[in-house]
Amino acid sequence: MQTIVITGAGSGIGRASAERFGRQGHRVVVTDINETTGIETADRIVADGGTAVFRRLDVTDPGQWEVLADWVCDEWGTPDVVVNNAGILIGGGFLEQTGDDWRRMIDINLMGMIFGSRTFVERMTATGKRGHIVNIASCGSFLPNSIAPSYVTAKAGIWLGTQSLRAEFGKRGIGVSAICPGLIRTDLAANGHRAGDGEDEPWAAKLASGHKYFGRSPKRVAAAIDRAIRWNLATVPVGAEAWLVWFLYRLSPGTVRTVSTAVRMSWIDPAVNLTGKVFGGNK
């Protein structure tokens, strides 16, 4: 039985991963900033015969990471696997997104991964644990664009940070993997906003209403995480479009940049509005 810590496990990829590991008989530490959904995930695992506990975590707070790590190590020892999954989405062009938008994106998506990796790698090395760190990046890591620049910047940082961590600690027996999904049915869109919108603007709700019908099940990503740990894979794209972007980026970054930057918010906003009308996200 292994001990596995997962952030953002209240829904989507985090929940699917937590439930997968729970079914395999591992102890799962479910963390999320949303207590309601996090507790629900832990309860689902326990109801299915697994072992899970919920701990609230704001991934942007290094102090909370220390408290979590101390608790996990005291209860069950140094964890075997840590999955840094928590993230949000903010849409809008480079200048549309405010300094606060950029700061929030980097704090949650990138610094959350850095704090989580640093906190637990430090304990793994101190105890000689041959553990594994899994960081959820995105095929957006290789897809510069003008519709979510802060998001892809943070995800690119996750991917490169993961490779740097792997280069330094791989030789010390710690596995490190970056998972790069394509379009996945999650609540990511709901946990963000359109830069420039007021609090009452329904852009995120409209996008989220259609997002849950398009893309692959988050169980596909959970399976990729499992595979990455088993084989200690460095980068694991998930989905045909993710593999295409990954290979094209390695072959010709300029081509990827030319194609992706052709897509603009002036195209996206009408599509999101249509999605809201079709799938009921206008409420």
Contacting residues for 118 by C-beta, under 8 A, at least 6 apart: none
Q: Could you tell me where the DSSP H helices lie in the chain?
A: 12-23, 35-47, 62-76, 99-105, 112-127, 149-169, 203-211, 218-231, 240-251, 253-260, 265-279
- What the block records as the tokens of 55 is 């701990």
Catalytic residue (one of 151, 169, 203, 246): 151
Residues 6+ apart with CB under 8 A from 223: 20
Q: What are phi and psi of 208, to 5 degrees?
A: -65, -30
Q: Are 54 and 6 in contact (CB under 8 A)?
A: no
| Block residue for tokens 């075997």 | 80
Spatial neighbors of 34 by CB under 8 A, at least 6 apart, are 10, 11
CA neighbours closer than 13 Å in the CB half-sphere of residue 242: 22
CA–CA–CA angle 237, 241, 245 (5° rounding): 70
- Chain centroid, CA 155 distance in Å: 9
Task: State yes or no: is 151 an active-site residue.
Answer: yes
CB atoms within 10 A of CB 138: 29
Catalytic sites, residue numbers: 151
